[in-house]
Amino acid sequence: MAFLRSLLPYFTFAAGYLVVAMLVENSYYQLIITLVLVWASFGLSWNMLSGYTGLISFGHASFFGLGAFATVLAQIHLGWSPWIMLPVSALIGALAGVLIGLPTFRLRGHYFALSMLAYPLAMSYVFQWLGKPEITIPRVLDHPALFLQFEDRRVYSVLALLLLTVIVVITRWIERTRFGMSLVAIKQNEAAAEAAGVDTLRWKLKAIAVSGAIAGAVGSFYAVVILVITPSSVFGMLVSAQALTVAMFGGVGTVWGPIIGATVLIPIAETLHAVIGSYLPGIQGVIYGLAIIILIIAAPEGVFWKGVDLIRRRRVPAAGTVPSGAGGVSRAASVEPAGGASPASRISDRIMLDVRGVSKRFGGLRAVRNVSFQVRKGEILGIIGPNGAGKTTLFNLLNGFQKPDQGQVLLHGSDLAGCRPHFACRAGIGRTFQVMRPFKRWSVANNVKVGAYVRAASEEEARAIAREAVAQVGLSAISDRPASALTTKQLRLLELARAIAGRPEILLLDETLAGLGSEEAKEVVAVIRTLAATGLTILIIEHTMQAMVQLVDRFIVLDHGQLLTEGLPEAIVKDPRVIEAYLGAKWAAHA
Amino acid sequence: MTRLRTLTFAALAASVVAATGAAPASAQTTTGPGQIGPLQIGLIAPLSGIYARPGQVMKMGAELGIEDVNAAGGIKCLGGAPLKLVTIDSGDSVEKATNAAQRMVAEYPELVGGTGSYLSSFTLAVTEVTERANLPLLTLSYSDLITERGFKTVFQTSATAGAQASIALPIIMDLAESETGRRPKTVAIITDNTAASLSSVKRMKDGLLQRLGLEIVMEETFTPPLADASSLVQRVRTSRPDLLLFLPTVISDANLILQKLREFRVSVPTISFGIAIAEPEVLNVMDARLVEGVMSAVANWGVKGQEALIKRLKDRYGEPWMTQNAISTYGDMWLFKTALEKSCSRDRQKLAEALRTLDGGPSQYYPGGTIRFDDKGRRIGASLTIIQWRDGVPVTIFPTDLAVAKPVWPKP
């Protein structure tokens, strides 16, 4: 129900657009009305991959062109109607997406964007080489409607609107489910997403398949509308650019972006061409380019997000009355006595994690050397050591970001060494990061929900788990607040909540207290203690010794990648070797 | 009026929801039957983008043609009604050309006919629209595909690309033999990937070259616009052909390659197809001596007997010579006059019917054949002209009866 309600603005827009389309009889305006919808749909295809995952594609013309060529060639050579080819083109697009995605997702950032650029260029040459410099859809005079050919151009607008509606519904549905959440999680921090149990490669492949399918269908429809296609008109750089332009102008990562972009830009470009172009041919391109530059400078994230920000800013005074974060945590802090239960009752004898002789070498640097230790269920284990001692690398080996050269990581007796992070997460290892990267526009609740998917079968369940996790860290009062409005402490707690939403058995915390004042650190420590009280096993890397000594049950000390020593906090702080490693030999003598 | 409504539309589409039935009414001027209002002829050609220059020359030809038709008394059968030119920019892409064609038929319901659109891809797109609107369209584009779709209102005044290669190459071979005493044996081909060029090359490779005893020693296809021609020219140099066939469409590509050929001192007799190597712009970047002797097979060119017209073009627009785009479009206006006298109507469908059944006698403004079209809409007997750079001007050297100079085989 809520899903349908969220589509209400779109259906209002579609109804209005339909009314306009029906009233316009002029065939030229009708064509532009159709093309606005076509380019909006194509923009949504781009948005599906690049808008949500943040992997910018300069090559969406690949799928578009394949759909277009398939449709025209099928009618010429096989006599197949575009009605059949519309879904077939979607299949072709999806297949092409997977084939292109498999090798290309090995790349990131600019490298991904640039290699995507190569595919349509290559395909353009293939079709040239096949002797298809230009092809046209044969005109059908008997039963033209069976071949998607209509006298009345309004039919094309209606069909285009239907196509757009289907795409919008799919997009909105994906946006609201774990599919979309996973994609956005990849965008904010691919490593964190993996650690939160998201199988990033699988979701990215799904995204490019859906995106390719949409682009294929849109390309197919485009060929029917324009009737003549050439390799450069469907595989050309300008086609890929069109998708980027409408999406970036309107707003990336929202269903509204491409719709706003196409509705504004396509008629403006065409009007400039028709009006000014006849006086000073070519000037239309200059004006159009300048207009886009000015707009991108004014609203770098697109018109839609600019609007959202403006509205939010107006509402800020009202939001100021919401209790501040400090109040939120007090509840958790008040549970402290429970967390303070004696370690002996908390820690069981069962060995949870058994690390046996793991080593990792980066070229000549032996980052971790033959480290072995055991962690019992319910224990809080502190890992300390000077900078460069190999602490974070050790974490990476434990949850699968890096594969150990030697050694085993046994969780409940089974070896996890070398498993991908999302697998480690499923197996029960959760993790937070030194550098926090929450999705800023999302609420606290939604940020946490991403972490819950690994354990939840349904949206409902994910929401319930997330709610529980938010309560556990004491952020319930501000669970609707966007992450961009949180303090550092609240962000740390948010990260904790996301990690525990995956219901881990072991939680790896990487410098969770970094950047916090001593009072704030105490509050976070209190929360961690309550988590431990629930039976969670915790490994924590930290520099703030004061907080650590109060928190942990036992320390292990790393230096130069080797296990220096391990023991109870009281013993460790007095151990000359530890002091020497941290402070130098001079101070060790005073110990 | 048109401008106002187009602007209204932009506002309208930008705020679609605010629709209040502001649908634009169709444009109607108040010319009734029997009145001597002008007859509108459309020129839909690229006036912006990389193909703008040929489009502008087409416009010059059309303006001169309309002027002359009107000066000769307009359409006598319709009470001396004059012709009036409507210019529409087809832009530089297939989508823009489609939009422009749709705009043309929607905004100018009184058009009786049109001519366009230079590049065959654009012509294909434009005629998909004009055919459905029953608007007769004359075109100088070569692509065979244009008149292979069974359309009833498209008329191709040039020889098709496929036909041009088979007309031109034997003539060139004979010329080489008579001037040098031996027939060329090997050939290199440099072509861009526009449809007209590719269909010429296809025809050559489908047996034509073999029949002429020519072996391809090097072949290269490029996408316009070209950034650097060094490697192309280097390959010509190393393959040492007797003949270089060169098929550019964009002027800057032609210039670049000709320049590089001279820079690398490649002195292979060069035969081009199309007018890109014979545009006045060539002289902006090259010394006339460097292109001396280069030949090109073109669909149409200013010929013997058109001296007065060529002079007017030069005086009015500063064009130093009459290219295919000017003369063919000029001729199109006379062709429309002839057909309109026959149909004696403002109805476009009757004009199309008149064009289909016309027998206008020997062709005056297009080389070879007659003013008659076959079932497909191709001009019967359409031939071509071969031109050669001579003393800084590309002049017609074939057909012999229209030639203004005798051919000279370029000395390597």
User: How far is A114 from A234, CA to CA, in rounded Å?
Assistant: 19
Virtual torsion, Cα A191, A195, A197, A201, nearest 10 deg? 30
User: E-strand spans in A54-210?
Assistant: 135-136
List all residues 6 or more positions away from A312 whose beta carbon is below 8 Å from its beta carbon.
none
On the question of pLDDT at B21 being above 60, the answer is no
Contacts of B194 in chain A (CB under 8 A): 133
In chain A, which residue's Cα lies nearest the Cα of B150?
A139
User: Which of A11, A28, A31 to mutate to probe the B interface, most B CBs <10 Å?
Assistant: A28
Q: B218: part of which helix (H) or strand (E)?
A: strand B215-222
Q: From residue A532, how far is each of B140, B205, B225 by CA, in Å? A: 83, 80, 67
Virtual torsion, Cα B366, B371, B373, B374, nearest 10 deg? -100
Beta-strand relationship, B295-298 and B270-273: parallel
In chain B, which residue's Cα lies nearest the Cα of A149?
B132
CA atoms within 13 A on the CB side of B231: 7
Of the candidate CATH numbers 3.40.50.2300, 3.40.50.80, 3.20.20.70, 1.10.8.420, the domain formed by B37-159+306-357 belongs to: 3.40.50.2300
Query: Cα–Cα–Cα angle for B361, B365, B371, nearest 5°?
Result: 30
Name which of A52, A44, A423 is nearest A204 in CA terms: A52
| Residue-range domain boundaries for chain B | 37-159+306-357, 162-298+385-402
On the question of pLDDT at B324 being above 50, the answer is yes
Contacts of B117 in chain A (CB under 8 A): none
Q: What is the pLDDT of residues A117-172, one digit of tens each?
A: 999 999 998 988 887 888 999 999 889 999 999 988 899 999 999 999 999 999 99
On the question of pLDDT at B32 being above 80, the answer is no
Q: Given CB atoms, is A237 within the 8 Å cutoff of chain B?
A: no
Name which of A220, A293, A253 is nearest A43 in CA terms: A253
Are B57 and B326 contacting, i.e. CB atoms less than 8 angstroms apart? yes
Virtual torsion, Cα A306, A307, A309, A311, nearest 10 deg? 160
Q: Answer yes or no: same fold for B37-159+306-357 and B162-298+385-402.
A: yes
Q: What is the CA A85 to chain-centroid distance, rounded?
A: 32
The verdict on a CB contact (< 8 Å) between A136 and B124 is: yes
In chain A, which residue's Cα lies nearest the Cα of B222?
A125
Contacts of A229 in chain B (CB under 8 A): 94
User: Which two three-digit tokens encode residue B358?
Assistant: 């016309």
Smallest Cβ–Cβ distance between A273 and the set B16, B89, B151 belongs to B89
In chain A, which residue's Cα lies nearest the Cα of B104?
A28
Q: What is the pLDDT of residues B48-93, one digit of tens each?
A: 888 888 999 999 999 999 999 999 999 999 999 999 999 999 988 9
In chain A, which residue's Cα lies nearest the Cα of B92?
A282
In chain B, which residue's Cα lies nearest the Cα of A33?
B13
Place B185 in a pLDDT band, splitting at 50, 70 and 90. Answer: very high
At residue A1, the pLDDT reads 66
Smallest Cβ–Cβ distance between A278 and the set B19, B87, B223 belongs to B87
User: Which two three-digit tokens encode residue B275?
Assistant: 């007018």
Place B288 in a pLDDT band, splitting at 50, 70 and 90. Answer: confident
Name which of A398, A350, A347, A411 is nearest A371 in CA terms: A398
Give A51→chain B minimum CA distance, Å: 23
Q: Given CB atoms, is A87 within the 8 Å cutoff of chain B?
A: no
Cβ-based neighbour number of residue A173 at 10 Å: 14
The verdict on a CB contact (< 8 Å) between A28 and B105 is: yes
The DSSP 8-state label assigned to residue B381 in this structure reads T
Contacts of A35 in chain B (CB under 8 A): 95, 99
Q: Where are the alpha helices (DSSP H) in A365-508?
A: 391-399, 421-427, 444-452, 459-472, 488-501
The verdict on a CB contact (< 8 Å) between A134 and B195 is: yes
The verdict on a CB contact (< 8 Å) between A29 and B95 is: no
Place B412 in a pLDDT band, splitting at 50, 70 and 90. Answer: low
At residue A434, the pLDDT reads 75
Name which of A73, A71, A65 is nearest A96 in CA terms: A65
The verdict on a CB contact (< 8 Å) between B93 and A233 is: yes
Contacts of B59 in chain A (CB under 8 A): none
Give B371→chain A minimum CA distance, Å: 28
User: How far is A350 from B118, CA to CA, in rounded Å?
Assistant: 83
Structural domains in chain A, CATH included, are 2-236 (no CATH), 331-348+378-401+428-588 (3.40.50.300)
Per-residue b/e over A117-129, b at no fewer than 16 CB within 10 Å? Answer: bebbbebbeebbe
User: Which two three-digit tokens encode residue B401?
Assistant: 């009866």
In chain A, which residue's Cα lies nearest the Cα of B102?
A28
User: How far is A400 from A415, CA to CA, in rounded Å?
Assistant: 11
The verdict on a CB contact (< 8 Å) between B106 and A26 is: yes
Contacts of B135 in chain A (CB under 8 A): none
The verdict on a CB contact (< 8 Å) between A23 and B23 is: yes
User: How far is A246 from A230, CA to CA, in rounded Å?
Assistant: 22
User: Which two three-digit tokens encode residue B132?
Assistant: 């459905």
Secondary structure of A200-267 in HEC code, one letter for each residue? HHHHHHHHHHHHHHHHHHHHHHHHHHHCEECHHHHHCHHHHHHHHHHHHHHCCCCCHHHHHHHHHHHH
Asked, as a colleague might, if the bond just before B117 is cis with ω within 30 of 0, I would say yes
The DSSP 8-state label assigned to residue B226 in this structure reads P
The verdict on a CB contact (< 8 Å) between B49 and A277 is: no
In chain A, which residue's Cα lies nearest the Cα of B195?
A133
Q: What is the pLDDT of residues B244-262, one digit of tens each?
A: 999 998 888 888 898 898 8
Coil, strand, or helix at residue B19? Answer: coil
Of the candidate CATH numbers 3.40.50.450, 1.10.287.70, 3.40.50.2300, 3.50.30.40, the domain formed by B162-298+385-402 belongs to: 3.40.50.2300
Residue range B191-204: mean pLDDT, rounded: 85
Name which of A252, A217, A207 is nearest A105 in CA terms: A207
User: How far is A475 from A489, CA to CA, in rounded Å?
Assistant: 11
User: How far is A250 from A472, CA to CA, in rounded Å?
Assistant: 39
At residue B24, the pLDDT reads 39
User: E-strand spans in A516-586?
Assistant: 537-541, 554-559, 562-567
Name which of B14, B31, B34 is nearest B22 in CA terms: B14
User: How far is B57 from B316, CA to CA, in rounded Å?
Assistant: 12
254-313 in chain A: CB under 8 A from chain B: 263-264, 266-268, 270-271, 273-275, 277-278, 281-282, 284-285
Name which of B88, B31, B70, B142 is nearest B333 in CA terms: B70
Name which of B69, B87, B57, B116 is nearest B322 in CA terms: B57
At residue A416, the pLDDT reads 83
User: Which two three-digit tokens encode residue A245?
Assistant: 């332009």
Are B12 and B117 contacting, i.e. CB atoms less than 8 angstroms apart? no
Smallest Cβ–Cβ distance between A233 and the set B95, B151, B221 belongs to B95
Virtual torsion, Cα A404, A406, A407, A411, nearest 10 deg? 30
Cβ-based neighbour number of residue B178 at 10 Å: 10
Are B102 and B129 contacting, i.e. CB atoms less than 8 angstroms apart? yes
ipTM over 0.95: no
Place B31 in a pLDDT band, splitting at 50, 70 and 90. Answer: very low
Long-range residue pairs from B31-35, CB within 8 A, at least 24 positions apart, any chain: B31/B110, B33/B346, B34/B79
Query: Cα–Cα–Cα angle for A183, A188, A189, nearest 5°?
Result: 95
Asked, as a colleague might, if the bond just before B225 is cis with ω within 30 of 0, I would say yes
List all residues 6 or more positions away from A250 whose beta carbon is below 8 Å from its beta carbon.
A43, A256, A257, A258, A259, A260, A261, A262, A264, A302, A303, A304
Cβ-based neighbour number of residue B183 at 10 Å: 14
Q: What is the pLDDT of residues B140-175, one digit of tens each?
A: 998 888 999 999 999 999 998 888 888 999 989 988
Smallest Cβ–Cβ distance between B193 and the set A23, A128, A228 belongs to A128
Name which of B46, B130, B349, B224 is nearest A228 in CA terms: B130
List all residues 6 or more positions away from A394 whose beta carbon is below 8 Å from its beta carbon.
A358, A368, A371, A383, A558
Regions of chain A short of the pLDDT cut 70: 1, 278, 316-345, 437, 585-591
The verdict on a CB contact (< 8 Å) between B48 and A281 is: yes
At residue A316, the pLDDT reads 58
The verdict on a CB contact (< 8 Å) between A133 and B193 is: yes
Virtual torsion, Cα A340, A344, A345, A347, nearest 10 deg? 100
Q: What is the pLDDT of residues A271-295, one digit of tens each?
A: 888 877 767 777 777 877 887 788 7
User: How far is A272 from A291, CA to CA, in rounded Å?
Assistant: 12
Smallest Cβ–Cβ distance between B106 and the set A28, A124, A270 belongs to A28
Contacts of B193 in chain A (CB under 8 A): 128, 133, 231
Asked, as a colleague might, if the bond just before B399 is cis with ω within 30 of 0, I would say yes
A354 forms beta bridges with: A374, A410
Q: Which amino acid is at A81?
A: S
Contacts of A227 in chain B (CB under 8 A): 98, 125, 128
